[in-house]
Amino acid sequence: MIVKALEFSNYRNLFDNKILPSERVNVIYGFNAQGKTNLLEAIWLFSGGHSFRGAKENELIKFGENFSKLYMEFFSSERDQKAELILRNSKKEVTINNVKKSSAAYLSQHFSAVVFSPEHLTLIKNGPALRRKFMDGSICQQDLRYAVRLSKYNQTLQQRNALLKEISKHKELKDTLEIWDDVLIDSGAEIIKKRLEFLESLKKNAKELHLGISSGKEELEIEYSSQIFKEKGEYTTDDIKELLRKEFKRVKREDIFSGVTNAGPHRDDLEFYINSKSARRFGSQGQQRSIVLSLKLSEARIMSDAFGESPVVLLDDVMSELDVTRQEFLLKNTEKCQVFITCCEPLENDFLGDVKLFRVEGGNIY
């Protein structure tokens, strides 16, 4: 996949502009808070309509304006394509190849990208929410149905949690919990099953990549951590539903007492081991960063296999956080991708090859 042109109006702090990127490496440089990440975010929005920084739609519109418009021309699926995204009143209007779509999620069926930001460098040592976000974000780009299912699950979870808080005041509502339980169990089992399938591909690729970056000295293992699995094995969707049902019954009293749902995929995690030792507990900062590097490159590989072409790679201010060895490993393993790199100064690295430079200053792009 190749971004051929990106045009934007009233977007964040950026002045209206149109850029024509290189098909290989693009370096976007400038001081902090000038708009470099906003440019990467604009590209990323075409992979599914959500900001990788968690920003809401109205935060993407330039201050004082009531809409923002993004337009991209790109090459994908062996043909030239185009997409338009208009943000207005907390809503998204999406047009793909002159056809209006009901949801921005349809963008992921035409364009895919992998983003690597400083936040990801803390993926191993920080809480499980970031690791779940990593899994779900990658799967959503590959499977539109998963994105719909995950959205439904999260909405139902909010409703069940609201009911749990009401039960403390109105005991008679207790019997209505099962209605929400059934929905959460059905959609939750499908979410967990899809995560397990994704994890099989992730484990294989990340293990190989980590052996490469560690010169064969470290073996990376990844395990899915869920309180419903008491032992290792292969589980069907029906198996997972039954295990979830038992777990929901077991923690029901705790749910009512705490006012939150204590079982389900929203509580699950990933565990990482280097040479059989917990990377979160015993891994050095360098080892943890190597794992994250392996994970993001593995994600790019999985997307390449899913779409039959390499995704666009967005590297947001991570090169300065990596030593030369890891920088070169990253660049070597993205040679088949179009790459966008943000940094404070133009990069000097023999592995970059020919690059196109964009300087960002006060929202202007030169």
Which residue intervals of 267-317 are DSSP H helices? 279-282, 285-307
User: Is 214 strand, coil or helix?
Assistant: coil
Cα–Cα distance measured from residue 282 to residue 101, given in angstroms and rounded to the nearest whole number = 48
DSSP summary character for residue 176: G
Cβ atoms 207, 179 nearer than 8 A: no
pLDDT in tens, the chain (366 residues): 999 999 999 999 999 999 999 999 999 999 999 999 999 999 999 998 888 888 888 889 999 999 999 999 999 999 999 999 999 987 899 999 999 998 888 999 999 999 998 888 899 999 899 999 999 999 998 998 999 999 999 999 999 999 999 887 877 777 788 889 999 999 999 999 999 999 999 999 999 999 999 999 999 999 999 999 988 888 999 999 999 999 999 999 999 999 999 999 999 999 999 999 999 999 999 999 999 999 999 999 999 999 999 999 999 998 888 888 888 899 899 999 999 999 998 876 666 777 899 999 999 999
DSSP summary character for residue 265: G
User: Is 311 strand, coil or helix?
Assistant: coil
Sheet strands (E) in the chain = 2-9, 17-19, 25-29, 67-76, 79-88, 91-96, 99-101, 113-116, 220-225, 269-274, 277-278, 312-316, 339-343, 355-361, 364-365
Cα–Cα distance measured from residue 279 to residue 115, given in angstroms and rounded to the nearest whole number = 23
User: Is 71 strand, coil or helix?
Assistant: strand
Q: Which of 321, 333, 319 is nearest to 286 (CA)?
A: 321
Q: Determine how β-strand 364-365 pairs with β-strand 339-343.
A: unpaired
**What are the two backbone dihedrals, phi and then psi, of residue 282, each rounded to the nearest 5 degrees?**
-120, -10
Q: Per the structure block, which two tokens stand in for 216? A: 């064969």
Q: Which of 118, 112, 73, 162 is nearest to 302 (CA)?
A: 112
Contacts (Cβ under 8 Å, ≥6 apart) of 295: 123, 134, 202, 206
Which residue intervals of 76-176 are DSSP H helices? 128-142, 144-167
Q: What residue type is 81 in one-letter code?
A: Q
pLDDT value of position 55:
83
